[in-house]
Structures are given as C-alpha cells and as structure tokens.
C-alpha cells in the first residue's frame, strides 16, 4: 500500500517536436529543455518507463551541451533520471545521479536552497527503498530543516517532508515518532490550503495508514473515509488519487477479513486506475495483486491466479524482471501455489523472488522476512524441517533487526 509522496523535479510543460523547432530558431534553449522534460514527465506519469528513460537521457544530454555540466537544469535532469531509475528498482544507477545532482545544486545554489532540500529528500527516499533507514533519516531531517528555514514552519512543502520522515518511521515501526509528524503535516495543510484540499486528503490518508499499520482499525477508517470524500469532491470520482484511497480502504477491510466490503472497493480502484493511467500501469499491477491476495486469503484460488499473473506481466514490462515489486508478486504467486499443494510450481518462483531481492534490496530488507516465512511453509509441507527452521530463524532475525532500530 503506497501512501507517501516524494519530490521529483519535473516541469509540466507543452511537448512537441522540439529538436526541429529549435533548429528552425523557433525556441530558445531553455524552452527546448523544458519541452524535453515535459516529454519525460508525460511518459513517467503513464508508467512508460523504458521510453521515459530515453526522454530523460535526451533532456540531460541537451542540458549538458547547452548550459554546461554545472548548470541547475543539469541537476534537475539528473534528479529526474535518478528518480526514474529508482522507480524501476535500479538503485545502483540512481544513487550516483542523485549524489551528483546534490553536489551540483549545493555548489551552484548554496547548501540552504530548496532544490538542495528536494534532492536530499529524493536521495533519502532511495535509501528507504533499499531498507537503509539509518542513512535516510539524517537526509530527511536536513531537508526538513532547509524547508522550514526558507519557507517557514507552516508551508505545505514542509508538510510534505514531514510526511516522508513519518513514513520512514512507520517502516521502522517507530509509530510514536511518526504520529505527531503526520498530525503536524495535516494541520499545516488544513491551515494553508483549507479543509477540502486534495493535499489534505493525502494527509488524512497517510494518518489513516499509520493507524492501519498499528491495527487501530476504528481510528483508521474515518480518516480514510474523509480522505475519500474530499478527493471525490475536489478531484472527481474518476481521479487516480481517489483510486489510491479506495485501495487503502479496501486493504483496511481485508486486514479485518471484511472481504465483502473490500472486494468492490478494490474493483472500483482497479477500474479507475485502468481508465486514468492505462491497463499497463504499475498502479494497475499493484491493485491486481491486492485483489489477488484477497481472493487467495478466501481460498478462491481460481480467481486469484490470473490476477497475480497479469500483475506480474505488467510489472515485468514496466519495471523489468529484476525489480522488488516483481519479487513481491512472485512471492505472492508462489504462496498461492503452496496453498494449493503445487510445490513444484511454487519453489522456483520463491527462489527467483529471493534472488531478485538479493540483487536489488538485499536479503536483510524487511520485505524479505515475509518471503522467508512463506518459503518455510513450503518446506514444512514438503517435510524439509531443517530448511524451514533455518528460514524461520532468518525471518525472525530480520524482524528483530527492524524492531531494534526503533
């Protein structure tokens, strides 16, 4: 369930045949770069990541050739390309780009500039995706300090960084640290934007998700419902943000085994994502996987399997086979086969999932604990008790390490 927002430096401008226009003298260099960036942004929003990579590289090359390697537009282009690699799980490619962007921005604009805060935020989010929470926290805190200094403590951008830092604390299980940050972010947004703004809806969604993580269902539900009502009112009932809240509310019901309440929400979220973003967007894949889990948990294996498989195809196409999200779906599909006693089909998927996690986020990442627990179930069913015990112990060690980081 995705609830957090990260800053990505993108200019939403008109795209077009920019190279030809520039050659004809119709546009200056700045406009050409902005149009190239807009092209990247459009492809990114549509989930067309391979095409977006090429557009981002084109914008970066143009910026370097037109403005010099130390220009702020180069820094922004580096940041955009890094963010795209991050979404694709290509963390090794993303990190040096973020770091170069950060160094350039600090040198050119000063260490207390808002663009420095943005890049610090993005680099921190990369570390969060890798489970490197110790490295992420000081970056978020520095980003927050800059934003507060430049914009004031009650600015909506400050609320966004508060939100991200709180999200880090959720992943560490530091719920008492996360809650006041989410609440402060909500107060800032309500004061600055009014109670019925879409950003307020997002803040409500995040606070609800904190309670969701703590199994405080009674506290979470009204926040999700208020978030949904605002989003539908302000953005319209067919907006992707509405689909996100529907997905999260469905997950709340699913966690309580309220399957009849969850299913129509998942289905509506799926339909909205497909309509707004296209049938091959990663958000569609995520909702398909969620619905597949719902059916699996009810023993509806025939309904579950095609959803996992379609989710897998979408993410492989958009993100590549070696992505943590793909590993997660392989784990889900393998667990489904284990429940059906299809052990020969399950085990290779578990092993591939483990290998993908190993190559991307490492085998100490919190998400790997669930994989090991599911693999242990398979080994117990196939009378491999020693292997099952070993995996169970590894899962416990991961969860203890996460708990000890509080």
Q: Is the dihedral of CA 119, 95, 74, 104 positive or negative?
A: positive
Average of pLDDT values for 219-247? Answer: 95
User: Could you tell me the pTM of the whole model?
Assistant: 0.87
- pLDDT of res. 406: 54
Q: What mean pLDDT value characterizes the chain?
A: 90
- pLDDT of res. 45: 86
Place 5 in a pLDDT band, splitting at 50, 70 and 90: very low
CB contact set of 233 (below 8 Å; sequence gap of 6+) = 196
From residue 162, give the alpha-carbon distance in Å to each of 59, 112, 121, 185, 375: 31, 17, 10, 6, 37
From residue 368, give the alpha-carbon distance in Å to each of 114, 249, 342, 365, 382: 35, 25, 22, 6, 21
Topology of 1-124 in CATH?
1.25.40
Quick check: 73 and 11 in contact, CB under 8 A? no
Quick check: 273 and 46 in contact, CB under 8 A? no
Q: 3-state class of 205 per DSSP?
A: helix
- pLDDT of res. 280: 92
Higher pLDDT residue, 169 or 27? 169
Burial class (CB within 10 angstroms; exposed 0-12, middle 13-18, buried 19+) of 317: middle
Average of pLDDT values for 361-382? Answer: 95
Q: Which of 167, 181, 242 is nearest to 212 (CA)?
A: 167
Question: Radius of gyration over alpha carbons of the chain, in Å?
Answer: 22
Q: Rounded to 5 degrees, what angle do the CA atoms 178, 223, 189 make?
A: 65
Interatomic CA distance for residues 20 and 252, integer angstroms? 51
Q: Which of 370, 368, 372, 345 is nearest to 358 (CA)?
A: 368
Average of pLDDT values for 217-244? Answer: 95
User: pLDDT by residue (tens digit) across 93-152?
Assistant: 999 999 999 999 998 889 999 999 999 999 999 999 988 999 999 999 999 999 999 999
Q: Locate 185 and state its tokens.
A: 């972010």
Quick check: 388 and 380 in contact, CB under 8 A? yes
Interatomic CA distance for residues 298 and 112, integer angstroms? 53
Place 27 in a pLDDT band, splitting at 50, 70 and 90: low
Quick check: 182 and 163 in contact, CB under 8 A? yes
Average of pLDDT values for 182-208? Answer: 95
* Ordered DSSP codes for 250-282: HHHHHHTT-HHHHHHHHHHHHHHHHHHH-TT-H
Interatomic CA distance for residues 274 and 283, integer angstroms? 9
Q: Is the pLDDT of residue 65 over 60?
A: yes
- pLDDT of res. 17: 31
Residue 183: count of CB within 10 angstroms of its CB: 15
Helix/strand/coil (H/E/C) assignment for every residue in 330-371: HHHHHHHHHHCCCHHHHHHHHHHHHHHHHHHCCCCCHHHHHH
User: pLDDT by residue (tens digit) across 234-293?
Assistant: 999 999 999 999 999 999 999 999 999 999 999 999 999 999 999 999 999 999 999 999
Q: Which residue has the tokens 């009810």?
A: 298
- Listed ranges 66-70, 127-131, 143-147, 173-177; the one with the highest mean pLDDT: 143-147
Place 197 in a pLDDT band, splitting at 50, 70 and 90: very high
Q: Which stretch of 20-24, 35-39, 68-72, 389-393 has the lowest confidence by average pLDDT?
A: 20-24
| Helical H segments across 46-130, by residue range | 49-67, 72-87, 91-109, 114-129
| Domain locations along the chain | 1-124
Q: What's the DSSP call for residue 239?
A: -
> What percent of the chain clears pLDDT 90, i.e. is strictly above it?
83
* Ordered DSSP codes for 10-55: --------HHHHHHTT-S-HHHHHHHHHHHHHHHHHTT-HHHHHHH
Q: Is the pLDDT of residue 177 over 70?
A: yes
């Amino acid at each position: 369930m995705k609830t957090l927002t990260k800053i990505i430096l993108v200019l939403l401008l008109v795209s077009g045949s920019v190279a030809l226009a520039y050659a004809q003298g119709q546009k200056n260099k700045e406009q050409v770069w902005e149009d190239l960036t807009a092209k990247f942004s459009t492809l990114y929003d549509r989930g067309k990541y391979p095409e977006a990579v090429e557009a981002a590289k084109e914008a970066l090359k143009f910026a370097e050739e037109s403005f010099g390697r130390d220009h702020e537009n180069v820094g922004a282009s580096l940041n955009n390309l890094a963010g795209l690699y991050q979404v694709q799980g290509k963390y090794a490619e993303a990190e040096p780009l973020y770091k170069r962007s950060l160094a350039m921005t600090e040198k050119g604009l000063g260490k207390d500039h808002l663009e420095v805060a943005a890049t610090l935020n993005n680099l921190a989010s990369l570390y969060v995706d890798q489970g490197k929470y110790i490295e992420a926290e000081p970056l978020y805190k520095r980003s927050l300090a800059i934003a507060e200094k430049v914009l004031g403590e009650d600015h909506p951008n400050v609320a966004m960084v508060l939100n991200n830092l709180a999200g880090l604390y959720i992943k560490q299980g530091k719920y008492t640290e996360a809650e006041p940050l989410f609440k402060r972010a909500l107060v800032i947004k309500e004061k600055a934007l009014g109670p019925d703004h879409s950003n307020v809806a997002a803040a409500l969604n995040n606070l609800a998700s904190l309670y969701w993580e703590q199994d405080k269902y009674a506290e979470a539900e009204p926040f999700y419902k208020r978030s949904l009502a605002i989003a539908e009112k302000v953005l319209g009932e067919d907006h992707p943000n509405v689909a996100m809240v529907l997905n999260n509310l469905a997950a709340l019901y699913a966690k309580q085994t309220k399957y009849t309440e969850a299913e129509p929400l998942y289905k509506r979220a799926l339909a909205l994502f497909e309509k707004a973003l296209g049938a091959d967007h990663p958000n569609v894949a995520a909702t398909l996987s969620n619905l597949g889990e719902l059916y699996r948990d009810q023993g509806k294996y025939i309904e579950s399997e095609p959803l996992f498989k379609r989710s897998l195809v979408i993410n492989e196409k958009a993100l590549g086979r070696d992505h943590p999200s793909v590993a997660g779906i392989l784990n889900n599909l393998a667990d489904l086969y284990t429940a059906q006693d299809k052990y020969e089909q399950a085990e290779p998927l578990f092993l591939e999932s483990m290998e993908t996690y190993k190559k991307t986020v490492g085998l100490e990442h919190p998400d790997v604990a669930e994989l090991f627990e599911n693999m242990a179930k398979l080994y117990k069913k196939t009378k491999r008790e020693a292997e099952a015990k070993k995996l169970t112990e590894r899962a416990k060690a991961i969860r203890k390490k996460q708990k000890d980081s509080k």
